[in-house]
Amino acid sequence: MNRLIGFAKTNAASVLVTRSLQQQNFKMLSKNYASKTPAYNYVIVGAGSAGCVLANRLTEDSGDSVLLLEAGPKDTLLNSKRLLWKIHMPAALIYNLCDDKYNWYYHTTAQRHMNNRMMYWPRGRVWGGSSSLNAMVYIRGHAEDYNRWQKQGATGWDYDHCLPYFRKAQCHELGADRYRGGDGPLHVSRTKTKHPLHLAFLEAGQQAGYPFTDDMNGFQQEGVGWMDMTIYKGQRWSAASAYLRPSISRSNLTTEVKTFVTKILFDGTKAIGVEYVQGGLTKKVYAVKEVILSGGSINSPQLLLLSGVGNADDLKALGIPVVCHRPGVGQNLQDHLELYVQQQCNKPITLYKSQKPIKMIQIGLEWLWKFTGEGATAHLETGGFIRSGHGVQHPDIQFHFLPSQVTDHGRVTPTEEAYQVHVGPMRPTSVGWLKLRSANPKDHPILEPNYLSTESDIREIRQSVKLSRELFAQKAFDKYRGPEITPGSHVQSDKEIDAFVRESADSAYHPSCTCRMGQASDPMAVVDPETRVIGLENLRVVDSSIMPSVVSGNLNSPTIMLAEKAADIIRGRPALCDKHVPVYNPKS
C-alpha cells in the first residue's frame, strides 16, 4: 500500500548503527550466558494473546531461538492434537469462564463503592490465554484512544502507527481495505444471523437516533452494527490458533506448559533468565538476548514485584531484595464495568430453549460434526458505541446485545425467555492498584480496581442504564417486549438506579495498564515506548499491562496489535505507519 510508510531514508543510518550495536551486545551476552544450560535467545513468559504473537514473529528469524513458557496446559486434549471442545466451540465459552482448570480465577478486594462486593476476575491460564476464554468480540477501540496514548508518553503509539499493525494481524473475511487486513494470521468474521431480536436491536438503535455503522472498527466506530468476531469456520480463533499453532513446528521454537515462573533472574540490573517450577521441580533457564513478560495485566506486574522490581518500600516490607525501584509497577489499574439490562421476551425466540440439556446435546453434536449451528457463534452478534451526551468527543458507552439471559457470569441458569444488553462506560476515571499479598508466588496478588470512586463514573454508568432502557422502548421491540427484568420497573430515580448499579455491575474482563508505557523521565512509567523496563537491561513487558490507559472497547484485538508492533521493535524493523487515515468526527 503506497500510503504505508517504512523507514524514511533519513533514518537509515541510525538503523544500521542500532543493528550494529545489537549485534555487538548479542556477541558479548553470548560469551557470558551461552555456556549456561539451557539457554535461548528469548524467553517469553506467558502463552496468552501477546506471547503467542511474539513466539510466532520472533521465530520468523531462523537464527533466533525462543522458549515460550505457559503456566497452564495446551488447548488440546491430553497427549493429543484434538482441540478441547469447551474452548474451541464458540457457544461453550461460559464453561471455562467459570472453571479454574484453564483460569486463574482471581477476585478483587471488597469494593467499598459497590456494597463491599468482591468481584470475580477470570483470566486465561492455557495456550491462548484469555483469548481462549473470551467472548470472541473483535473491537479495536477508537482512533483517539491511541492518540491519547501518545500524549501520555507512549511516543510512536498514536493511531497512525497502530492501525497498520491491526491490519497486519488481521485476515477479515470481507477482505482488505484502508482499515481491514486481508492476509494476517487472525481470522475475523462478520455475523450473518437473521435472528429477529438482533435485527430488532439494530432497528431500535436507529429509531433512538443512533447511526448505523457498517464497520465499528473502521472509519466510524459510533453507532449500532454487526460485531466482528474472532471465529473462523465455526471455531474460536484464539491467539494460539492464529499464531502459536502455525509456528509450533519451527525448530527454533520450544514450548513448555504447566510451568509456574516464580522470579526473573538478574545479574545486577541485567535480566539473564527466569526460575520456574514444573512437575514439582525448580528449574532455571537463561536468555541470551532478552526476557519478555507477556503474562497479562495481573501476572506480569506480580512477577516483576516478586523479582524485586517495584516500589522499594513495599518490597522491603515483604523481605524481597530490591533490584530496581519502579513505583509504577502494579499502579494505574483500570478496568471496564458493565451491567445487564434485561427484558422479558413475549415470544419463544430467545436462546432459552437452546440451554435445555437435550437441545444442548443436539447443538454440540452438530458442532462436533460440521462446526455449524448455534454452537458456532457466541451470539453477541450485534452491538454499538454511543456518546453519553453532547460534547463527548467520541463514544464512551458500549453495547453488546444478546438474545438470551445471562446472570452472574453465566453461573446462574436462565429462568425465562429474555434478551439483554451488556452496557457500560468505556473510559472510567476510577483507577486502582495491584500489590503482592506476600512473597509467596502462589498467593494471588491484592487486586484493588477502586470501582466507582469518582462522580463521573457513577454518572456515566447511570446514564448507561437510562439509554439502554430508551433503546429497548423503541417501536422495533414492541412485538417482543415483556416486563423489564433488571433493573425492574420499580427502579426509576437516580438514587434507585445507583443502588442497582452498586449491587449488580460487574467487570467486563478488561483489567489493564498496570505496567504502563511512558517516558523514562516519568517516575510512574514502567516501560518505555520500546517496551523495555525502565532502569533495567534485557527485560521487556509486552501485554495489556503496558497500555497507558484503557481503550474504548474490548482488549483482545488491541493486545494482539500491541504485540505485533512490539515484535517489529524487538527485531529492529522499521515501524509501520499510515498517516491521515480518515476517522468519523461527529458534528455535535
The residue segments making up the domain with residue 452 are: 85-122+190-236+334-433+441-507
- Torsion angle of the four alpha carbons 570, 572, 573, 579, in this order, in degrees rounded to the nearest 10: 80
Please tell me the predicted confidence (pLDDT) of residue 17: 39
Is 262 a domain residue? no
Q: What residues are annotated to the active site? A: 510
pLDDT band for 12, please (50, 70, 90 cuts): very low
C-alpha angle with apex 170: 165 to 172, nearest 5 degrees?
140
As a whole number, the mean pLDDT across the chain is 93
Nearest alpha carbon to residue 461 among 500, 431, 510, 403: 500
Q: Is the dihedral of CA 260, 266, 269, 270 positive or negative?
A: negative
Q: What is the gyration radius of the CA atoms in the chain, in angstroms?
A: 23
Can you give the pTM of this predicted structure? 0.93
Question: In this predicted model, what pLDDT tens digit does every residue of 124-133 receive, in sequence order?
Answer: 999 999 999 9
Is 175 inside any structural domain?
Answer: no
Residue 52 forms part of a structural domain: no
Q: For residue 146, what pLDDT is reported?
A: 98
Q: Where are the beta strands (DSSP E) in 141-279?
A: 170-172, 186-190, 223-226, 228-229, 231-232, 235-236, 253-256, 260-267, 270-278
pLDDT over 80 at 241, yes or no: yes
296-354 tens-digit pLDDT? 999 999 999 999 999 999 999 999 999 999 999 999 999 999 999 999 999 999 999 99
Residue 194 counted as domain residue: yes
Residue 401 inside a domain? The answer is yes
Half-sphere exposure of 494 (CA within 13 A, CB side): 6
The number of folded domains in the chain is 1
pLDDT band (50, 70, 90) for residue 391: confident
Cα dihedral value 41, 45, 47, 51, nearest 10? -60
Question: All 3 cell numbers of residue 171?
Answer: 485476515
Residue 371 lies in a domain: yes
CATH number at residue 382: 3.30.560.10
- Find the range with the poorest average confidence among 6-10, 220-224, 457-461: 6-10
The one-letter amino acid code at 547 reads: M
User: How distant, in Å, are the alpha carbons of 162, 163, 216, 308, 416 from that of 140?
Assistant: 10, 9, 9, 34, 34
pLDDT of residue 97: 85
Q: How far apart are CA 466 and CA 455, in angstroms?
A: 17
Inter-residue contact 357 to 343 (CB < 8 Å): no
- Domain assignment present for residue 65? The answer is no
Task: Strands of 145-259 (E only): list them.
Answer: 170-172, 186-190, 223-226, 228-229, 231-232, 235-236, 253-256
pLDDT classification of 477: cutoffs 50, 70, 90: very high
Does residue 488 sit within a domain? yes
Q: Mean of the pLDDT values across residues 508-521?
A: 98
pLDDT at residue 579 is higher than 90: yes
Model confidence pLDDT, tens digit, residues 179-198: 999 999 999 999 778 899 99
